[in-house]
């Protein structure tokens, strides 16, 4: 796992550690010192710690004018033992909401498992995005099935073409426009 880096091709466009509105503003990263781990596996030092022992993330891009952010995750999403959704909501999302981010693209191809608890933080996040949305991209099938089994899928736009997006081939704005188009079609909103 230590070789899995967060996506880095947009770093010339955005870095969370240089964004004064980011929860990770001012953070310094090591390329050589591995300190965080998921269970007994060290992870690459570029991942950001959200105070969960099993779920780490990276804000790949945030656009405050258009109100969207692209977040990449790695690890095990474990609400049962570590209340990961609370950590994500309180330590990252609340600050982003205050800064005008209401559309979220969550990339989950490196999320290996999901362990549920209650859905109160999902519901809170969903209500606070108002006219925005939370879209899941490229989550593993068994993780999405677990979201569905626990009825947490009602808070996300997920599955279908969203799980087929080759997102690395896009620039952030292009990805956002593609996802917004798919979300609008899914929700029956007018499509440009």
**67 Ramachandran zone, left/alpha/beta (phi>0; psi -120 to 50):** left
Secondary structure percentages of the chain, helix, strand, coil, to 5: 35, 25, 40
Q: Which domain holds residue 176?
A: 62-187
Q: What is the mean pLDDT of residues 18-45?
A: 91
Quote the pTM value: 0.95
Q: What is the Rg, in whole angstroms, of the alpha carbon atoms belonging to the chain?
A: 16
| Per-residue model confidence as pLDDT tens digits over 52-68 | 999 999 999 999 999 99
Q: Please, what is the average pLDDT of the chain?
A: 94
Q: Is residue 109 part of a domain?
A: yes
Q: Is residue 23 part of a domain?
A: no
- For residues 19, 13, 130, 26, the Cα torsion angle rounded to the nearest 10 degrees is -20
Residue 189 neighbours by CB distance under 10 Å: 12
Q: Is residue 97 part of a domain?
A: yes
């Amino acid at each position: 796992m230590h070789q899995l880096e967060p996506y880095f091709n947009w770093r010339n466009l955005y870095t969370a550690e240089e964004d004064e509105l980011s929860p990770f503003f001012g953070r310094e990263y090591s390329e050589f010192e591995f300190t965080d781990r998921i269970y007994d596996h060290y992870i690459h030092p570029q991942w950001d710690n959200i105070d969960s022992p099993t779920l780490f993330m990276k804000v790949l891009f945030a656009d405050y004018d258009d109100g969207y952010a692209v977040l990449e995750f790695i690890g095990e999403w474990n609400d049962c033992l570590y209340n990961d959704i609370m950590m994500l909501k309180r330590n990252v999302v609340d600050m982003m909401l205050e800064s005008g981010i209401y559309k979220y693209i969550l990339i989950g191809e490196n999320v290996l498992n999901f362990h549920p608890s209650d859905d109160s933080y999902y519901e809170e996040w969903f209500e606070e995005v108002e006219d925005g949305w939370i879209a899941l991209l490229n989550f593993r099938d068994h993780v999405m099935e677990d979201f569905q089994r626990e009825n947490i899928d009602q808070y996300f736009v997920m599955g279908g073409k969203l799980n087929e997006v080759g997102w690395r081939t896009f620039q952030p704005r292009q990805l956002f426009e593609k996802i917004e188009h798919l979300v609008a079609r899914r929700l029956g909103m007018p499509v440009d």
